[in-house]
Structure 1
């Protein structure tokens, strides 16, 4: 293969395809995921793939060579590491491959996974000790995420003839640079859902200067809400893309799927201006678990899951194993909690809507209203590293932070 033209932004290629596709398949659901974490877990498999299996995985991930993929994986892992060292932010990442113990994994592959991905391969007996293996995987995820992510798997999630299971889990909690005033929170706000019904949602409020844009081609408002950070090497933002009331979110998702460049442009800070905003954002908690095989196949990553075609001879020698190794499951779990402080809040009391959103001051005439009281897409990005750490959709009020 030729030299890679990939840079650290090339997981963005995967992210821009993956998240809109998932959203369109789960139209009415709240979603939260880490495209970067998923890409890292898949990369751990890709570096052990060969021939057409490798080519297909590289194409979906957005690379021309294993060398380019490894380089970017190391850079993205470093971005996670830099963010995790900031005391204002909690971020926990746990990726691991679980292989049927009857396989003999190549030594070079084990060394590569440890060196470039700061991970390892765990050998388990899926055939005889499935329940015990499931418990061990769950315990490992809980340990890696300080008990913040639990019950990742049930025994029925793993087939007894499984050869390779990919686990990708991540947890995030951040503190706003400008916190929302809890006394202004409206616990009885109306939320207009995609299907035309309304529900009640807890809506946080604040007035402040934020980077803002109104994108006419997307028929959407965009705001970048910064997170507090202690390190000069970290700049995290929470970006909301809010379609107009007359522009359903599925149309926006369709645009991003067919023209990924539109999403890339929408996320750029340089395409915004600082504006005085009356900002209204739901208070919510989302916990999402995905089995990603069907999504990846829709993106044309098919060979790694095909028992007649899959080639992972960089991981195991097929002749030694006695059977072909393929990916049986790709499981991803992510949790996000969005509230006034960026941390758990105990106080819950109702305010009449008229009290909750009253702001005084001479500059009131010059403010722009950003009211996220209908479905929207959101992204958490590390700007300095140019990495989309997380992406999600808030579409209804079925799961809320309390």
Structure 2
């Protein structure tokens, strides 16, 4: 996720002309970062099985599975909102984002919230009951420690993740918030001068992101996104690079027809294979699972491509994913099958957006309003006047013959068809995709491809 900015409350907060909602493209691949910026109120199988540790678990296995299910529901609701015609992603554009990055950043924000603001954050993120916020922090601790640990040394995917808290030099973090941020989220804290040197402070945040992402994302805070009213920026950055278990032969890649939503078509580079693949076929839908090399890593990351039968079925599929919580889990391919015609397009997606409007549409209103209670962030009376001004997110995903580089259900029983003949999987029209860790079900990235030729 990108940054969350906190600002002083102003008399007028909505539709601030100084900070219009924007989408922008990154020229630096393979990452996701999210930042919340704020100002004193202006307008603006268990995880222990995945990666055992010597420390006792902070959550019971059943609680972790339930929390991850809530997290996945948040991810798919956000994906559906992002896929709607009125969202940041135009219907003719590819999109990708990291719901996990956003979830972690908002969970950290909840550590500095109180009262109804904290409860609303917990509810939208999947918490329930008086200890919901504590459950979010415990889940984040497990996810950061285990799912987001780098596995490249063991032959698995390279994963890099970091949290950052940037506070104005005139303020100090409340000890309780700092303890949660550093202890559970492993956040790095920095003091910066938003009041007198806002542009320089934004540069410090962007430099931090560039460092964490190995130069792949150089700017998460666009010009003018912070000013003298900004008091804190919460952010994180996520990088993922995995190689396919079965790599595609680049010499077999060739152009083929890809059908667009408007009925036209383009010639795009497709990867071909005759190897057995993890494919499941259902009414009006095929799902492909492409596992990443695991090595000695106990986690198992995979990319899933959800291909609707209808060439224009991508948006209704996104809505179904969002409205039926168990849909994804019920449509996971479980076994390899021989393939007939098999081709998947290569693609690159670089996508950035300001997320506050989407989150408000999902019911998260209070953190952005003059009624926000974020007093637990800083040890100052000024904390009574903080609200979130904006949430920036940027992601990059590239899929090619080698693998992926990325920065950034109904109650009815579904029966898998039994096939004796080879199964086709021809992704020659718009589709959804996601990257998840299969042992836990944690979704790292979600996106859609409507035209593989669109430049990032």
Using the size of structure 2 for normalisation, the TM-score is 0.76
Structure 2 residue 305 is matched with structure 1 residue 240: yes
How far did residue 340 of structure 1 move? 0.5
Decide which of 22, 28, 31 is 2:92's aligned counterpart: 28
Structure 2 residue 288 is matched with structure 1 residue 226: no
Decide which of 328, 348, 357 is 1:263's aligned counterpart: 328
Structure 2 residue 79 is matched with structure 1 residue 19: yes
Equivalence map 1:1-400=2 (5 Å): 6-24=66-84, 25=87, 26=89, 27-64=91-128, 65-77=132-144, 78-81=146-149, 83=151, 85-186=153-254, 188-216=255-283, 219-266=284-331, 268-269=332-333, 272-277=334-339, 278-306=341-369, 308-317=370-379, 319=381, 321=382, 324-342=385-403, 366-399=421-454
Q: Deviations over 1:92-135 (max 9, x none)?
A: 22332333333332012111110100103333233321221122
How far did residue 256 of structure 1 move? 2.4
Residues 131 and 159 (structure 1), Cα distance of their counterparts in 2 relative to 1, 3 Å cut: closer
* 1:221 and 1:244 in contact (8 A); partners too: yes
Counterpart secondary structure, 1:102: coil
Higher relative contact order, chain-length normalized (CA < 8 Å, sep 6+): 2
Higher mean displacement: 173-182 or 243-252 = 243-252
d(CA) in 1 for partners of 2:322, 2:67: 22
Q: Which runs of 5+ in 2 are unaligned?
A: 1-59, 406-419
Q: Which runs of 5+ in 1 are unaligned?
A: 345-364
Using the size of structure 1 for normalisation, the TM-score is 0.85
Q: Deviations over 1:367-399 (max 9, x none)?
A: 211111111111111111221111111111343
What CA RMSD, in Å, does the superposition of the two structures yield over aligned residues?
Answer: 2.3
How far did residue 159 of structure 1 move? 4.4
d(CA) in 2 for partners of 1:230, 1:246: 37
Residue in structure 1 matched with residue 9 of structure 2 by the alignment: none
* 2:272 and 2:343 in contact (8 A); partners too: yes
d(CA) in 2 for partners of 1:55, 1:83: 35
How far did residue 343 of structure 1 move? 7.1
How far did residue 75 of structure 1 move? 1.5
Q: Deviations over 1:260-311 (max 9, x none)?
A: 3323433x34xx44211243111112122221111111111110011x2111
Residues matched between the structures, number? 371
* 1:164 and 1:326 in contact (8 A); partners too: no
d(CA) in 1 for partners of 2:434, 2:404: 18
How far did residue 149 of structure 1 move? 2.0
How far did residue 162 of structure 1 move? 2.4
* 1:164 and 1:328 in contact (8 A); partners too: no
Counterpart secondary structure, 1:154: coil
d(CA) in 1 for partners of 2:397, 2:204: 24
d(CA) in 2 for partners of 1:312, 1:171: 29
